[in-house]
Structure 1
């Protein structure tokens, strides 16, 4: 293993805090990783990591070495990318995490077109609504739909979406049409569990954001299932436009409370860090932003 490969391995182990996790990502035995780190320590004459039964911890020497490794590796990556960019041919692997419904409905066609346009880029697409840890899972790019980012997130906004409150004509005929958000307390609602509290819905009322508690009889972590349940008259739900549009067009659901908009959704391209972003990833983000804007 050459010096740069050893640095890359050390940085990965330091970030994940586990020999086993790195070995699993690389598809090698744990002993291979531990032996290579031990060889690096022997070469440097410094103990980089303190091993325990639960987690690795960097020594003071390891912490200092980690920062230097990151600087060096970023410079190397930037230099190599600069040469590659002179050829203007994105190439290499991109592992991308995508939300399930939005990924299938809106992003998959763009990604397939991208793959045809850039045959030297290998895409590994993971469709899931769970919040992934980009560093621990080796993700190069994650598309996340959220109303707010967390502190420390490295992200670029590439689109936006609307939240709509919908109900079936049958439900409204049986239970009446709520005229303001407060009336939802007297209706049966359906909750999306991945959005935090499924029983707390927010609306703009007279220019101010207000929260309303609702009673949910059915909860799920998938918006397509909840919208189908809404279409079948099981209750009222709030859904993003990319899920609700098809049901609205067919007349299976109707939008209600349109005079009280819910906070919009941001669609973000999330990066594992603010280090140099490879050309292939930047080109993909630009493609997604351009197509979603259109």
Structure 2
């Protein structure tokens, strides 16, 4: 008895609810189906089905075995599909969730390059800073920037970015330069919080992280807005390097509190599941990983 074939046959019979229907679907004699199921039951040492002239039902052992068989057969099918995909031109729908600022500033050029390289892949980009349920919302991949992933999240780290505290030269000329995070109580701070005091600014102080709570004079749910407000002299803000690098290069912003910079953030490709990953999704992850690593190396030279 080929156990794999017998498992497949058992699933067919259970789903059809009939030996005859399963035999007809497979194009074999009913006696072949009957013998295979009997051999499988003998091998397992349990009854999987209760049969009568009018009906067929699964035993409790049969119901449990059916779920395991389905899972095994699904994995085999996925494995074979993955190998076969490697020989074919990458194609199909690929829906990606992207953080707004990083997506527009860094990822759009890369994704357009990817789309040119793989024209058979239908790429759908969704720019949103929300934490999404990828399975419920139908995404194949999400790019997430965070200091720590939630437990159980399936992800690959693509790159890192720094958080930098900045202010405009004219603001610092008027109000002075903070020398310690505690000095921020004397300054106008701007941040992401939707409420004045529920989201702190975090800094490394004497080798460990400390949180400093400030009432924000200006709040927004987008870092580009906060960086522009800082460039116009409205206060101090902490933003990722990809948002403030151009401002710093142009002299519109200056760094402050450099000795207290928090740990780097990770840039992750987050997957909806750790099961079968389509070839087109793996291609995009590798593409972004290589491009982002190359861009980082170029800036460090």
Q: TM-score range by the shorter chain?
A: 0.7 to 0.9
Q: For 1:131-280, list aligned pairs within 5 A.
A: 131-193=131-193, 199-280=199-280
Matched pairs, number:
239
Q: What is the DSSP-based 3-state SS (H/G/I as helix, E as strand, rest coil) of the residue aligned with 2:139?
A: coil
Mapped to 2, the partners of 1:261 and 1:243 lie a distance apart of 16
* CA distance 1:246–1:79, shift in 2 (3 Å): same
- The corresponding residue for 1:72 is 73
Q: What is the DSSP-based 3-state SS (H/G/I as helix, E as strand, rest coil) of the residue aligned with 2:145?
A: strand
Mapped to 1, the partners of 2:140 and 2:197 lie a distance apart of 29
- Give, in angstroms, the shift of residue 144 of structure 1: 0.4
- Give, in angstroms, the shift of residue 72 of structure 1: 3.0
Mapped to 1, the partners of 2:175 and 2:57 lie a distance apart of 76
Mapped to 1, the partners of 2:65 and 2:198 lie a distance apart of 45
Ranges in structure 1 where 5+ consecutive residues have no aligned partner:
8-42, 47-60
- Give, in angstroms, the shift of residue 279 of structure 1: 1.0
Residue range with higher mean Cα deviation, 131-140 or 78-87: 78-87
Q: What is the DSSP-based 3-state SS (H/G/I as helix, E as strand, rest coil) of the residue aligned with 1:123?
A: strand
- Give, in angstroms, the shift of residue 215 of structure 1: 2.3
* CA distance 1:117–1:208, shift in 2 (3 Å): same
Mapped to 1, the partners of 2:197 and 2:71 lie a distance apart of 39
Point out the structure with max Rg over C-alpha.
2
Note the aligned Cα RMSD (angstroms). Answer: 2.6
- Give, in angstroms, the shift of residue 66 of structure 1: 6.1
Mapped to 2, the partners of 1:267 and 1:213 lie a distance apart of 26
* CA distance 1:203–1:152, shift in 2 (3 Å): same
Q: For 1:6-155, list aligned pairs within 5 A.
A: 69-87=70-88, 89-155=89-155
Mapped to 2, the partners of 1:125 and 1:66 lie a distance apart of 35
